[in-house]
Amino acid sequence: MLKGGIFLDMENLTRNGGYGMRLRTVKNLVEAQGVTVLRANAYMAYDPEGEAGDPVWRTAKQEYRNRIHREGFHLMLKEVQRYVGTDGQEVVKANADLDLAVDAMLQEDNLDYVLLGTGDGDFLRLVRALQSRGKRVDLLSFANTSGALRREVDYHFSGFLVPGILPPTQDDQNRQRGIMHGVNEERGFGFLTLQTGLGIDEFRDDIFLHINDFAGPTGVPLSNEGFARLKTRGCIIEFELTEQADGRPRARLAWEFVPPR
């Protein structure tokens, strides 16, 4: 059994579509890789001055921190710094990137596996350093993920595709999300991959999608070329999973998933 650590850049994750993510599922995701979680850290900004002036906001933030702690994560709080910029405006900044990187390197002697939660390309050097010491480094991120970071890690989990990591909404009923792994541009069809569980081998890749079952961003049908670009762009596709007459799976009422802002 591998020994692992989780290091989450909470500001980056929540800002890019991971707000409300279930941290218990993040732990389950790591355990599904055959890993025993020894360390789980969540790095967050902390604004004592701002919270002191707004009791409602302070209560909400404290409840949020309590929930993270109840999920078994150690909170690593970085106090915000205030300064006046060149334009005379107050700037509030709290960057926990260095704290996360230092902690990961200090603890790596006891770890075989690291799950890094962020989309920030500044962590590329950390990934390489950990891998050079024989660690497997996987990535969990949502929108706005550095392409170089995604290519460097051993495996990238898109949070939008991991089952159960985000709380369900009313629109999620009977809806699935996947990516197109194969496309026939001339004939206007492709096949989608759907993550069915938390293991990297828990997926199905036999879901048929026809161009006529896909709606473009404006409701106007895509050209065959535009349909093929869904694959090359690595788009997340949201769809309703149905069956064809012969029982094979088919995606209908499909469109490109746009992460919430």
Length of the chain equals 261
Can you read off the two tokens belonging to residue 220?
């106007």
**Prediction pTM value:** 0.89
Q: What is the pLDDT of residue 87?
A: 60
Q: What is the CATH number of the domain that holds 201?
A: 2.40.50.140
- Asked whether residue 135 falls in the same domain as residue 50, the answer is yes
> Which of 98, 124, 158 is the last residue before a domain boundary?
158
Q: What is the pLDDT of residue 94?
A: 57
- Asked whether residue 19 falls in the same domain as residue 141, the answer is yes
Whether residue 164 lies inside any domain: the answer is no
> Which of 158, 182, 197 is the last residue before a domain boundary?
158
Cα torsion 208, 212, 213, 216 to 10°: value is 120
- Interstrand relation of 175-184 and 74-79 (parallel, antiparallel or unpaired): unpaired
Averaged pLDDT, 71-95: 72
> Which of 158, 189, 217 is the last residue before a domain boundary?
158
- Asked whether residue 179 falls in the same domain as residue 143, the answer is no
- Asked whether residue 38 falls in the same domain as residue 126, the answer is yes
- Asked whether residue 110 falls in the same domain as residue 89, the answer is yes
* 96-153: pLDDT as tens digits: 889 999 999 999 999 999 999 999 999 999 999 999 999 999 999 999 999 999 999 9
Q: Among 132, 46, 137, which residue's Cα sits nearest to residue 94?
A: 46
* 208-242: pLDDT as tens digits: 999 999 986 666 788 999 999 999 999 999 999 99
Domain range spanning residue 24?
Answer: 2-158
The total domain count for the chain is 2
DSSP 187: T
CB-based contacts of 81, cutoff 8 Å, min separation 6: 92, 93, 94
